């Protein structure tokens, strides 16, 4: 199974776009997205220094546009790609790249949202001096306890031995003076405490804009940063991306879901390296491919061919299938068990794991064609549970 991932802010480096822009088709597509974003992304990706592209207003549109245009180079015929990609996921702002790649939103909608996201987060960062620090190593429970003691947030949980702390500069300084045992601290070059309550004003701004964004249900399973769940409703994908601005990124749970899905290969879109590096440490036995330059495209396509397989969603239209959001035991709702017709939003049951329990709803409703699982069955992320026939469709 192939999973495509998109990196978040911090993956960009000076000049990383130079080799890509030698292709006139790539350059023209980037120019179009630059027009939507109102930024000269080609100039920023080739001539700007590290401090300039560190600016949230620039870094976030630059990352999303690069991922989207590179995806078209990698998969010139997107419809063919949907049948081979098992799931997509993005780290932080990379979720917008993943959402557009799964056809939840258009590339243009993604660029408007990321433009406003970057600007709003930069404004929020200016209100209070805040920052982020990577915590490498140490005992996980001791690290989390130390963060709580200093009033910090575990803004990114990137798996074993890598947590990113975020908060005010004073809190981070106090934490640095008394670090957890066997932990190494690295101050990150970011503008603020992303994915914490300090970003709440940015959430409010983007939420207002998102209400006007038309969405489609994903063509490929989307793994959410919030909790690692498979999201099968386009509106929920966008709502989660908006809320994630002020909530921790649980990349550890995203990787857990990938393993539950049976991933064999992870391909990271440019500027690649960060997420495949994490996967190499946390997902033993899973092959990785970091797409960094266009001269790797043929090898990347071969990697996709090797690991790609038919998608469960693609073989059955998404509008008539209800799927599991995660791994656990499925408990069928009594009121849905014998129903022949389900109204939109009807609860069909819940998926319970050792961590939590999630209600599963038939968002679009319809006539029950067949149950694909029994009450008490163990289910995996994205597994079809119920086949529905839309009401009024012959």
Please give the positions annotated as active site: 92, 195
- Nearest Cα neighbor of 223 from 3, 56, 371, 68 is 3
- Asked if 88 and 220 count as a contact pair (C-beta separation under 8 A), the reply is yes
Instruction: Give CA torsion, residues 195, 101, 39, 274, to 10 deg.
Output: 50
- Nearest Cα neighbor of 301 from 100, 88, 84, 103 is 84
Q: How far is 216 from 110, CA to CA, in rounded Å?
A: 13
Q: How far is 97 from 88, CA to CA, in rounded Å?
A: 9
Q: How far is 74 from 71, CA to CA, in rounded Å?
A: 5
CA atoms within 13 A on the CB side of 218: 32
Helix, coil or strand: residue 159 = coil
Task: Using DSSP bridges, classify how beta strands 287-290 and 230-231 pair: parallel, antiparallel or unpaired.
Answer: unpaired
What does the angle CA 44 – CA 38 – CA 36 come to, to the nearest 5 degrees?
110
SS3 helix, strand, coil % of the chain, rounded to 5?
Answer: 45, 20, 35
């Amino acid at each position: 199974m192939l999973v495509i991932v998109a990196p978040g802010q911090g993956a960009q480096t000076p000049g990383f776009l130079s080799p890509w822009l030698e292709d006139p088709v790539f350059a023209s597509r980037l120019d179009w997205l630059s027009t939507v974003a109102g930024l000269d992304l080609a100039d920023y990706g080739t001539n700007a220094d590290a401090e300039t592209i560190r600016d949230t207003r620039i870094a976030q549109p630059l990352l999303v546009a690069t991922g989207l245009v590179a995806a078209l180079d990698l998969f010139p015929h997107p419809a063919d790609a949907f049948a081979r990609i098992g799931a997509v996921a993005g780290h932080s702002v990379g979720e917008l790249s993943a959402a557009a790649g799964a056809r939840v939103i258009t590339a243009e909608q993604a660029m408007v949202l990321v433009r406003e996201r970057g600007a709003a987060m930069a404004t929020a960062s200016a209100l209070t001096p805040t920052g982020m620090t990577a915590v490498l190593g140490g005992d996980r429970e001791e690290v989390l306890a130390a963060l709580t003691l200093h009033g910090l947030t575990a803004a990114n949980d990137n798996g074993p031995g890598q947590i990113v702390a975020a908060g005010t500069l004073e809190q981070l300084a106090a934490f640095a003076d008394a670090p957890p045992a066997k932990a190494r601290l690295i101050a990150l070059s970011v503008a603020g405490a992303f994915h914490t309550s300090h970003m709440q004003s940015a959430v409010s701004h983007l939420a207002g804009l998102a209400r006007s964004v038309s969405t489609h249900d994903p063509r490929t399973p989307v793994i959410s940063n919030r909790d690692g769940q498979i999201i099968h409703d386009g509106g929920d994908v966008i709502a989660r991306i908006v809320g994630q601005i002020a909530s921790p990124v649980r990349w550890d749970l995203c990787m857990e879901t990938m393993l539950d899905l049976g991933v064999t290969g992870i391909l990271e879109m440019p500027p690649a390296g960060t997420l495949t590096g994490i996967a190499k440490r946390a997902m033993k036995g899973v092959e990785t491919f970091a797409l960094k330059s266009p001269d790797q495209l043929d090898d990347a396509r071969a990697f996709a061919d090797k690991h790609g397989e038919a998608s469960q969603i693609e073989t059955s239209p998404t509008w008539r299938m209800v799927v599991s959001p995660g791994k656990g035991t499925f408990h069928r709702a009594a009121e849905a068990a014998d129903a022949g017709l389900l109204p939109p939003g009807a609860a069909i049951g819940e998926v319970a794991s050792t961590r939590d329990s999630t209600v599963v709803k038939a968002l679009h409703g319809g006539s029950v064609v067949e149950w694909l699982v029994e009450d008490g069955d163990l289910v995996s992320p994205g597994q079809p549970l119920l086949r529905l026939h839309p009401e009024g469709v012959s």
